[in-house]
Chain A
């Protein structure tokens, strides 16, 4: 090792406390990134299980846009492809699809030419349907409760269950193409759609990106299919599986928060690098005088941080794996995901390495640039302008998608960090106006006296506080809207779920019970509005039922209710017509928080007109008002009579829903707290540095007879001042970020808008946390060996 390197290394070892801060901060940052990656990968893996397996590996579905699709159309298309047209097509797979009631429940029957599908790349969920070729073999999902080897009778013919998919995909039956045609009573010429796999460079890039940054593919606004052979209509596979996009959005949001911790860690390290650089100024000047170039000095400095980054990468990797399990245990998504934690892949190693070593080296390099930079680079107002422009573009252009939304959040955060120093300088300029006790003046002026040593740490604290506030505001606003929705929907006393089974017998039994006042049956079928796959819910939609979705006066004939997510996708509103049946009029838009797919609700008569076989697999029960007590044991009796069904009273439904809600956001809060912790470490480190610089000043105060108690009060006031500056910046930023989350990111990620409720407690708690973090950092004693760090 070179002597310069050795000197750097000894510096790291001597500045033990700062070195430890860098390591802890960066380790936490890397751990957050790793944990979020693990959680995201796990959610992705579980998504692949709930994804429709026959769509795996495809990029588009083609149909004839309303006209009947025949196998002659398919063979003609295939011949053109094989003759050299459509050079980017990799596979064409004919399919039939239809619904039919099987084993007492509605099933989506899909027939696939598995031989044509065999050229698709095998991936996580892809099943190999070639075993379904021959005989009457079916593959069914877990919702049927069937076992491999059993047979089912459908329409007088017997079919054999070849295998069972673990996941409940809502009654999916997969078969070979011809078998499905038989099941659905279709002629051999009838096809529903052609699955297409194209070598789409965008898709490949997004698959790759998904492996590096799980959820990233949800980050961009959905692209319509770029391929449209004449006479055909193409639907992209992502549009076909809205729940995949939904969950990826969740993963993306969590990933963005994980990144935030890293950004805060980056500020922390940057701050320490600046302090170290200044502390080494005299030494560096002497080395320069001896002929060592700044490039060499910079390289040595960066190398030291790289080394710390290396250690932090490893520690963060281990910490992240532990953190992922901790966070995963809190959340619904990861906890429900079947299977194992994903292994530590090369991608993850790369990510941890880039996070740790990259952020470490970058911070050191930036510190060198800042301290040695000629004219210190672009002025703050140019940087601020650019950041504002990024934020505005991200908000203004919906095409930037989730990515744009989070870019806006990040840009605003950076803006705050960037303005801390000018703001502290301005505060310092007005320091003379400060009144009150001299020791207090001293304490408060110290906040603004050393902008370079403090500004980045204060900015990071600001950012962490603002994020905590924004997430808190968003979650609480969301919670309020969610609770309102629940109260509206949960209008009945008991809810019965047959898990897909027709509940006609239960319905009849319930009507015989004297305590039962009213039974409302529900059913659902798969359908499409234009190309968009929807869940069509049907029920006798009378006035009372429509009121549950916020619509007064009931529905007229030919009217429907649509979920906000679908209305947003279609750009439709009340009064518009849906491309469904003869063109249903939208009578209302209801919020469907938590719904991954798109939903339309109609009266049963409308569903019957659409040719849907009415099966009711859910019932809600109202008890007679004076019979509440008598009805109290109704659920027990119902369970005894029908052991297979699930019964939940209203209170329990609400409780479960709220629990799921809270668990869903537990991970979010944890990550923001982690960011706050890293920021507090940064502030503490800056304060330690400040105190070291001020040792002579402290000595003077001691000589003047200032007592230890008075000195502690000075420290608290100073920390309060720092906390106040951070909080003053965090307040507008936090509110702005909360608005971005509610009004920009939520609609883009999930298709619903949340009304921002500015509750005092949600604003006050993070502010108090921020000030508390600063005060704690100020009160924590300087480490014993820190004196040696001067």
Chain B
């Protein structure tokens, strides 16, 4: 659920960063230019891009690959895995694609109008640690890109690719300074189309195309520092593409993708509004062991923060929640408090445990919190 993140990230990246040094002559000279670039990314200049407005049937494997007619897109993967001794780890890998201009772009790949941004992170529960790294690259095939057939998304040495060219069997390979991940991923459930047959509304005029692969098996190696672990567990993939940006009044969101031990999955998010009111686009989906989805509207579930953790900057992050949906009542708790992604844009994304009200572990998953820095 990154619909808002993407433009925010790239706006930060492309506009705020140069403007951060208004005092220096060079930066000052650049100011005018960056404003124009901002206009390119603004709503008014979405002209020329396709928009997520109507339900369109998805066609695979084509829709696993990039949609350059849309401005933004991401491939999002989380995994909760254990080593042979039962030590738990979390893995997150996200690739964002952003088009700077509509159209196919010039023939010279150095002039590509596509920019790719990747985040990778690893959580170690036993270590109570969280490591993350960010990479940015232009859409030159030599360094970053995405293709549907064979399926492959790569950014500056990191890659998520179909093992046999398809989407169902994938390999994630990430090598960062502090950690490395090499996972084989095999889909255990079919893709679930979010929203209305894949058209996911986030506001009155904001929508994206959105589907999830809620359960994949994950197996491979995970290295933290010098220590390598053989790991296995479950993974979740989200795919989303769109052109629209954050709707006004929404300040952030809380999003959860949970694997329950009884083979159910839950995806739930709530959009927090500046006035504190409930957003009617809040949404939850329960997926049964057979892959059938059970959507819930904003009024059908309750999501309440219970315990906050304060970071060094004084920001309070809600790290324990109570979720009530249908007949289930769950407690969701961060496995490690500090799983902040201190990258171009700061957010909290990390491994959580799922418990029943009696405190018994009933699942694992990932949680994403944004907009708390105020």
Residues of B within 8 A of A128 (CB): 17-18, 21, 27, 30
Interface 9-residue window, one of A61-69, A70-78, A603-611, A726-734: A70-78
Given A122-B21, A131-B37, CB of A181 within 8 Å of CB of B30:
no
Contact A82 B175 (CB under 8 A): yes
15 pairs from A and B in contact (CB 8 Å cutoff): A49-B25, A71-B142, A74-B142, A115-B136, A115-B137, A118-B136, A122-B20, A131-B18, A149-B32, A162-B32, A166-B25, A166-B26, A167-B25, A179-B111, A182-B111
Q: Tell me if B33 is interfacial: C-beta within 8 Å of chain A.
A: yes
Residues of A within 8 A of B17 (CB): 118, 128, 130
Q: Report how far A130 CA is from B41 CA in the complex, Å.
A: 14
Contact B100 A115 (CB under 8 A): no
B27-59 interface (Cβ within 8 A of A): 27, 29-34, 37, 40
Interface 9-residue window, one of B102-110, B262-270, B316-324, B333-341: B102-110
Contact of A125 among B26, B108, B111 (CB under 8 A): B26
Nearest CB on A from B204, distance (A): 30
Contact B142 A178 (CB under 8 A): no
Q: Report how far A567 CA is from B344 CA in the complex, Å.
A: 48
Contact A188 B109 (CB under 8 A): yes
Q: Report how far A359 CA is from B136 CA in the complex, Å.
A: 51
- By Cβ-Cβ distance, the 5 closest A-B pairs, closest first, are A82-B157, A178-B110, A163-B29, A178-B111, A75-B142
Q: Report how far A74 CA is from B32 CA in the complex, Å.
A: 32
Interface string of A99-129 (1 = CB under 8 A from B): 0000000000001010110110010110110
Given A78-B157, A128-B30, CB of A134 within 8 Å of CB of B100:
yes
Contact B29 A116 (CB under 8 A): no
Residues of B within 8 A of A125 (CB): 24, 26
Nearest CB on A from B180, distance (A): 8
Q: Tell me if A58 is interfacial: C-beta within 8 Å of chain B.
A: no
Interface string of B79-123 (1 = CB under 8 A from A): 000000000000000000000110000111111010100000000
Q: Report how far A163 CA is from B157 CA in the complex, Å.
A: 33
Choose among A74, A113, A124, A128 the residue with the greatest number of B CB atoms under 10 Å from its CB. Answer: A128
Q: Tell me if B126 is interfacial: C-beta within 8 Å of chain A.
A: no
Q: Report how far A113 CA is from B31 CA in the complex, Å.
A: 20
| CB-CB nearest in chain B for A124 | B24
Q: Report how far A338 CA is from B140 CA in the complex, Å.
A: 39
Q: Tell me if B14 is interfacial: C-beta within 8 Å of chain A.
A: yes
Q: Report how far A115 CA is from B113 CA in the complex, Å.
A: 12
Q: Tell me if B279 is interfacial: C-beta within 8 Å of chain A.
A: no
Residues of B within 8 A of A133 (CB): 37, 100, 115, 138
Q: Tell me if A84 is interfacial: C-beta within 8 Å of chain B.
A: yes
A122-B20, A130-B18, A178-B109 given; name 18 further pairs at CB < 8 Å.
A49-B25, A71-B110, A71-B140, A75-B143, A78-B157, A111-B110, A118-B13, A118-B136, A128-B17, A128-B21, A134-B100, A139-B30, A148-B32, A162-B32, A165-B25, A166-B25, A179-B111, A338-B25
Q: Tell me if A177 is interfacial: C-beta within 8 Å of chain B.
A: yes
Residues of B within 8 A of A124 (CB): 24
Q: Report how far A542 CA is from B129 CA in the complex, Å.
A: 73
Q: Report how far A71 CA is from B27 CA in the complex, Å.
A: 29
Q: Tell me if B63 is interfacial: C-beta within 8 Å of chain A.
A: no
Q: Tell me if A83 is interfacial: C-beta within 8 Å of chain B.
A: yes
Interface string of A172-192 (1 = CB under 8 A from B): 000011110110000010000
Choose among A72, A83, A131 the residue with the greatest number of B CB atoms under 10 Å from its CB. Answer: A131
Q: Chain A: residues with CB nearer than 8 A to chain B?
A: 49, 53, 71-72, 74-75, 78-79, 82-84, 111, 113, 115-116, 118-119, 122, 124-125, 127-128, 130-134, 137, 139, 148-149, 162-167, 176-179, 181-182, 188, 338
Given A83-B175, A178-B111, CB of A127 within 8 Å of CB of B101:
no
Nearest CB on A from B22, distance (A): 12
Q: Tell me if B169 is interfacial: C-beta within 8 Å of chain A.
A: no
Contact A163 B100 (CB under 8 A): no
Contact B40 A116 (CB under 8 A): no
Q: Tell me if B156 is interfacial: C-beta within 8 Å of chain A.
A: yes
Contact B100 A181 (CB under 8 A): no
Nearest CB on A from B136, distance (A): 6
Nearest CB on A from B119, distance (A): 14
Residues of A within 8 A of B33 (CB): 131-132, 137, 148, 162-163
Contact B26 A127 (CB under 8 A): yes
Contact B100 A119 (CB under 8 A): no
| CB-CB nearest in chain B for A160 | B33
Residues of B within 8 A of A53 (CB): 26
Contact A116 B137 (CB under 8 A): yes
Q: Report how far A79 CA is from B143 CA in the complex, Å.
A: 9
Q: Report how far A130 CA is from B14 CA in the complex, Å.
A: 6
Contact B29 A164 (CB under 8 A): yes
Q: Report how far A163 CA is from B33 CA in the complex, Å.
A: 7
Contact A181 B108 (CB under 8 A): yes
Contact of B138 among A115, A131, A132, A163 (CB under 8 A): A115
Residues of A within 8 A of B138 (CB): 113, 115-116, 133
| CB-CB nearest in chain A for B38 | A131
| CB-CB nearest in chain A for B35 | A131
Nearest CB on A from B34, distance (A): 5
| CB-CB nearest in chain A for B144 | A115
Choose among B21, B24, B109 the residue with the greatest number of A CB atoms under 10 Å from its CB. Answer: B24
| CB-CB nearest in chain A for B14 | A130
Choose among A49, A127, A176 the residue with the greatest number of B CB atoms under 10 Å from its CB. Answer: A127
Nearest CB on A from B36, distance (A): 8
Choose among B13, B26, B40, B143 the residue with the greatest number of A CB atoms under 10 Å from its CB. Answer: B26
Interface string of B125-140 (1 = CB under 8 A from A): 0000000000011101
Q: Report how far A544 CA is from B13 CA in the complex, Å.
A: 58
Q: Report how far A608 CA is from B101 CA in the complex, Å.
A: 42
| CB-CB nearest in chain A for B111 | A178
Choose among A74, A115, A128 the residue with the greatest number of B CB atoms under 10 Å from its CB. Answer: A115
Nearest CB on B from A107, distance (A): 17
Nearest CB on B from A365, distance (A): 42
Residues of A within 8 A of B27 (CB): 127-128
Residues of B within 8 A of A188 (CB): 107-110
Contact A162 B30 (CB under 8 A): yes
| CB-CB nearest in chain B for A75 | B142
Residues of B within 8 A of A163 (CB): 26, 29-33
| CB-CB nearest in chain B for A90 | B177
B309-368 interface (Cβ within 8 A of A): none
Contact of B40 among A79, A82, A134, A181 (CB under 8 A): A134
Nearest CB on A from B273, distance (A): 32
Interface string of B280-323 (1 = CB under 8 A from A): 00000000000000000000000000000000000000000000
| CB-CB nearest in chain A for B32 | A148
Nearest CB on A from B224, distance (A): 15
Nearest CB on A from B301, distance (A): 41
Q: Report how far A124 CA is from B108 CA in the complex, Å.
A: 32
Residues of B within 8 A of A83 (CB): 157, 175
| CB-CB nearest in chain A for B107 | A188
Given A115-B138, A122-B21, CB of A139 within 8 Å of CB of B110:
no
Residues of B within 8 A of A82 (CB): 156-157, 175
Residues of A within 8 A of B21 (CB): 122, 128
Q: Report how far A53 CA is from B101 CA in the complex, Å.
A: 27
| CB-CB nearest in chain B for A135 | B101
Choose among A164, A167, A338 the residue with the greatest number of B CB atoms under 10 Å from its CB. Answer: A164
Contact A119 B136 (CB under 8 A): yes
| CB-CB nearest in chain A for B138 | A115
Q: Report how far A26 CA is from B139 CA in the complex, Å.
A: 61
Residues of A within 8 A of B32 (CB): 148-149, 162-163
Nearest CB on A from B113, distance (A): 7
Q: Report how far A182 CA is from B113 CA in the complex, Å.
A: 16
Contact A78 B156 (CB under 8 A): yes
Nearest CB on A from B23, distance (A): 10
Given A113-B138, A128-B17, A149-B32, CB of A134 within 8 Å of CB of B25:
no
| CB-CB nearest in chain B for A116 | B137
Residues of A within 8 A of B14 (CB): 130-131
Q: Report how far A75 CA is from B145 CA in the complex, Å.
A: 14
